[in-house]
Chains A and B, each alone.
Chain A
């Protein structure tokens, strides 16, 4: 695994993708890591950085798709080209790529790690669910995606005979797990540090509270 590094990186651009923001920064000496791993991004004016999975790794850049819903993500979405922020990663465990018949299943901003994952898996099929046509504009980043819009759910549209790799809100992940017990699921939790120091991001795994940043964020559901 690539050793995480913390570097101050320049912002190349912030692009709107539907209601989301694609924050592109210079890569510098940072390794992109494997799909599903994440980086801690300094959120200007905030005390804590924000964990974001890598969305794209174009040459010389790292790009993160985020939903500007709170003060930290809004500060990140308001960055201008030439601004710089600290970026720390890659962190955590990403998706296992040794799958025979991959299917990406995503909901909302859970689409974030899929462009990079799709590339690594040679553009497998994807089923993506969004709450509106506007949000669904993010599907442009993922090749071979079937889109469903609320109230249709991804679990109504996805075949169940595939190796599922999923990312999305908790109720969606629970529903996917019920259909595909072996699915790889990327979870989310509030994090202060991202590298196992704060014990803030615990989730219950096999009856024990474990640190999602160290054990995950991708967990095998079975």
Chain B
């Protein structure tokens, strides 16, 4: 199992000490053109999580490749996963074409940002187009906004994905005292502890549909949370919102994960892989 960060939840250049605790670093999503992101206010706390409407702020593909990526490679001693975004299939393809470099370990296609307009093509169509132009390992980050995760996962696998990442944030709204949206854009992506049951269900459904590696994320605060995702079929685990509140979270979660696995009767965390799959299947029937 690898421990990663969720894309957009960590800046390796301002917090290399946090990255040092992870097994690999996932960049903020890169788009073809530079983006300032959405106007502020773009975060809001809720009772059990938080909303963000950052909107894929990034320096754009050219600056990323020329400046950010070399600086990242100099600063951190971890495999770099590049998160790729876009507004049509061609955006993704053109970025993938330029990521055949030694400093890129993996490409994660962000197919599910709730804070920008979606590409018109399906996730599988974008994966298929990118597969044709890159030999990099290719992960598809999919949305939890679906009733049939299995169908989506089978489709991206057939299109050539090497793995899937889930879940991205859920679309949400928060209102202020005057009953107006707290976020300037109105709608944002909901993350934090409340997302964990959604992530567990998504990973279970995906694992029933595929044997591809799954990078699982959504509401992980503790080692126990990570263990539950593994039990549902996660191959790797990523931390998101918890990185905002605890710069020691990766080390802590790793240590807790080993303890929690043993408490649950498993010598190593990976021994708990998929153990929830059968039990939940029986309940569902």
Contact = CB atoms under 8 A, between A and B. Distances in A.
Interface in A165-222: 189-193, 195-203, 208-209, 214
A189 B43 CA distance: 10
A48 B36 contact: no
Chain A interface size range: 20 to 34
Contacts of B40: 189, 200-203, 209
A44 interface: no
Contact of B245 (A47, A189, A199): A47
Contacts, number: 83
A102 interface: no
A47 B240 CA distance: 13
Given A198-B244, A199-B57, A202-B40, A214 B45 contact: no
B245 A198 contact: no
Contacts of B15: 195-197
Nearest to B18: A197
B44 A190 contact: yes
Interface stretch (B6-14, B132-140, B153-161, B276-284): B6-14
A88 B54 contact: no
B209 interface: no
Given A46-B45, A72-B45, A197 B52 contact: no
Interface in B245-285: 245-248
A106 interface: no
B246 A86 contact: yes
Q: Chain B binding site: helix, strand, loop or mixed by DSSP? A: loop
Contacts of B9: 197-198
B70 interface: no
A28 to B, nearest CB: 15
A88 B247 contact: yes
Contacts of B42: 199-200, 202
B88 interface: no
B71 interface: no
Given A48-B244, A193-B245, A208 B36 contact: yes
Contacts of B11: 196-197
A94 interface: no
Nearest to A210: B36
Interface of B: 8-11, 14-15, 18, 28, 36-37, 39-46, 48-50, 52, 54, 57, 192-193, 241, 243-248
Given A47-B46, A49-B245, A196-B14, 8 more contacts: A6-B248, A72-B45, A195-B247, A197-B9, A198-B244, A199-B37, A202-B37, A209-B57
20 contacts: A6-B247, A47-B45, A47-B192, A47-B193, A48-B45, A49-B245, A189-B40, A192-B45, A192-B244, A192-B245, A193-B245, A196-B15, A197-B14, A198-B244, A199-B42, A200-B52, A201-B43, A202-B37, A209-B40, A214-B14
